[in-house]
Amino acid sequence: MKSLAENHTNLIFPGRSYKPDKKDMDYSELVRAVQEGDEATANRMCSEALPILKKYLIANLNASPEDAEDAVQKMFEYVIQKIRRGEIKNPGGILSYMLTGSRHAYLKAMRDTELEEFDELISEPVSGPDQIQNLINQEQIDILKRCMEQLDGPYRSMCEFILRNPSADSEDLAEHFDITINNAWIRKHRVIKRLSECAKNYL
């Protein structure tokens, strides 16, 4: 994930910009689909909007494709809950709402990453000789293997796929496992969370 500092130049002097033509993109159907429990239509609308919103963040905020996708998925979670609670009063303006929400989600993620990187930096021990570092790396691999063995079948399969294809995004996972992009994103983050929680038991 790029740090907030890496994005300052582009935020102040954007070399390129992109804004979808709202006249040609009516996502008010997404509001209706969520309210009526039409999951198939809601998933289709989210899948159609995902690349557009990603492009917006990449072009305007210099986001990486991975960070842009994470931000958009976070926005979808938030917006869908607001739709279910009946808080979206103007369905025709949902695209503007999603653009703003994606931007806020991305910037918040950048701020949180800055704090995490700082915490890791001040707590990081002085590097030892290469031999010691190799032992540490091997220990981490052993822990990962033990934690993977504790995953349920579908989660273990996804973990193995991610390790074999580290650049795979949610679209790749959805295609490989024949699930929706939203489900792929949720399952991926559950895998990461379970591995992290498991690893803490060995550290």
Residues of 15-29 as b/e, b for ≥16 C-beta within 10 angstroms?
eeeeebeeeeeebee
The pLDDT score that the predictor gives to residue 21 is: 54
Q: For 35-66, what is each residue's pLDDT tens digit? A: 999 999 999 999 999 999 999 888 888 888 88
* Arch. (CATH architecture) of 128-200: Orthogonal Bundle (1.10)
In 3D, which of 165, 148, 157 has the Cα closest to residue 187?
A: 157
pLDDT greater than 90 at residue 72: yes
- Assess contact for 53 and 59: CB atoms under 8 A: no
End-to-end CA distance of the chain: 24
Does the model's pTM come out above 0.75? Answer: no
Q: 154: number of CA atoms within 13 Å, CB side?
A: 12
Confidence of residue 127 (pLDDT cuts 50, 70, 90): very low
- Assess contact for 183 and 191: CB atoms under 8 A: no
Whole-angstrom distance, CA of residue 16 vs CA of residue 148: 42
The pLDDT score that the predictor gives to residue 122 is: 37
Q: 178: number of CA atoms within 13 Å, CB side?
A: 0
For the chain, domain boundaries: 4-119, 128-200
Q: For 88-125, what is each residue's pLDDT tens digit? A: 888 888 888 898 889 888 888 877 654 554 444 434 44
Classified as helix, coil or strand, 150 is coil
Per-residue DSSP letter, 23:
G
Q: For 171-185, what is each residue's pLDDT tens digit? A: 888 889 888 888 888
The pLDDT score that the predictor gives to residue 95 is: 86
Whole-angstrom distance, CA of residue 123 vs CA of residue 111: 19
